[in-house]
Amino acid sequence: MALTVRHHAGEYQVAWGQWADVASSLPEKAILITDSNVERLLPENLQALPRLTFPAGEASKIWVMAGQLHEQLAQLGALRSHTLVAVGGGVTGDLAGFVAASYMRGIPLVQVPTSLLAMVDSSVGGKVGVDLAAGKNLAGAFWPPQSVIVPFDALTTLPERELRAGMAEVIKAAWIASPELIETLRTPVLNAQDPRLPEIIQSSIAIKAQVVEADEFERLGIRATLNFGHTIGHALEAVTNYAEYVHGEAVSIGMVAEAQLSARLGLITPNAVDDLRTMCHAHGLPTALPAGLSLEDLLPFMRKDKKAEGTHLALALLHGYGACKLHTDVAADDVRKALQP
């Protein structure tokens, strides 16, 4: 079973499988890129393939690490006929994808997401990149993979915190596009053994694929709805030096904050905000900005967000249960008042 994702140059398949089956699905002349945590968990048949490994964590998603990986590929003698295989979470997919997009002006990429967050979000859609000191994902490219292989059983090795963080992206997908998935998530997913999880992952990927196909290069404002919770979430990650929150936790806080803004602007009811906050909390996610943090701390990073235009802020805001639109004219004062306790 597989899902087809179409893009400007063709299409690729998102296939579901198991860890043990990944190696047999890869093209010839594959080179793995993975992090130091996932490397220890690789099945034996993947360990036999050539690979590059970098230190796990968001701190590695930078220019310097991308440059080191380029140099290592050159030392391996990698050519355009080779395929890079990103095996790991969102950081690995973004970093390895950025390297694939730029090494020899672009070589084929296969995504093998092993975290829930990467499965439902970052592995699909072709956005790759690295962080700059000024903000997250400010250097990057659109580079669709040749294929995405989702090994469901990799989730059994995922730390509980990372599973919860991945659920933030599932909750996001539901609230921007699927009232039906919202209803499913009212019963929280708390472990990798939940029998509903494969179907929930597939539903989330289908939402991501549909949005990406409608606006691949983020020119229409449609794809920007996938950033619900991310404008404030990314700023929160940056202002805390990527040390206090993992990505999904920051997105959860960002979703609730941006829902509060949506309610202040009359786009949704306060009850909807409470509903979203309750859902995130039930999935073990944080929902409040840390004490002492103000909009003034976040603003420098929010103004550098890729969606921003002119002097106003740009945020994807809720318009109901399963509905979201990009607003490019949000006044900082409205955000400030929405974030007040």
Task: Give catalytic residue positions.
Answer: 105, 127, 169, 208, 218, 223, 227, 230, 234, 247
Q: How far is it, in rounded angstroms, from Cα 88 to Cα 38?
A: 6
Q: What is the CA radius of gyration of the chain?
A: 19
Give, as one character, the DSSP assignment of residue 192: T
Indicate the pairing of strand 147-151 with strand 30-35. unpaired
Q: How far is it, in rounded angstroms, from Cα 87 to Cα 154?
A: 11
3-class SS of residue 143: coil
Of the candidates 261, 257, 266, the one whose C-alpha atom is nearest the C-alpha of residue 235 is: 257
Reduced 3-state DSSP string for 219-288: CCCCHHHHHCCHHHHHHHHHHCCCCCCCHHHHHHHHHHHHHHHHHHCCCCCHHHHHHHHHHHHHCCCCCC
Reduced 3-state DSSP string for 94-114: HHHHHHHHHHHHCCCEEEEEC
Look up residue 145 and give its two tokens.
Answer: 């993979």
Q: How far is it, in rounded angstroms, from Cα 141 to Cα 84?
A: 16
